[in-house]
Structure 1
């Protein structure tokens, strides 16, 4: 699974994309509201790990999640 942090412009907030190994979009959520999207994927228990990685990740870069 991969995570991408996307910078918002003006009134559009910052977003996070979660993608599988084939790069299919699994989730797309605001940085400040990840709860429902991660719960739908069954990753609610990994919320702290994922959000810690997102906080450290520069905008526009892709990081691999080991889940």
Structure 2
């Protein structure tokens, strides 16, 4: 699984993308509201781990997650 943090502009907030090994979009959510979207893809139990990574991840960088 891959994670990407996307920088928002003006009134558009920052977003996070979660993608699978074929780079298909699994989840797309605001940095400040991840709960519902992570639950939808079955990663609610990993939310704290994922959000700690997002906090330190630079915008535009793709990071491979080992979950």
TM-score (structure 2 length as normaliser): 0.99
Show structure 1 runs of 4+ deviating over 2 A.
Answer: none
Residue 6 of structure 1: how far off its partner (Å)? 0.1
TM-score (structure 1 length as normaliser): 0.99
Residue 7 of structure 1: how far off its partner (Å)? 0.1
Q: For the residues of structure 1 that align with 2:19 and 2:42, how far apart are their CA atoms?
A: 14
Aligned residues: 67
Structure 2: unaligned runs, 5 residues or longer: none
Structure 1: unaligned runs, 5 residues or longer: none
Residue 15 of structure 1: how far off its partner (Å)? 0.1
Tell whether 2:34 aligns with 1:34.
yes
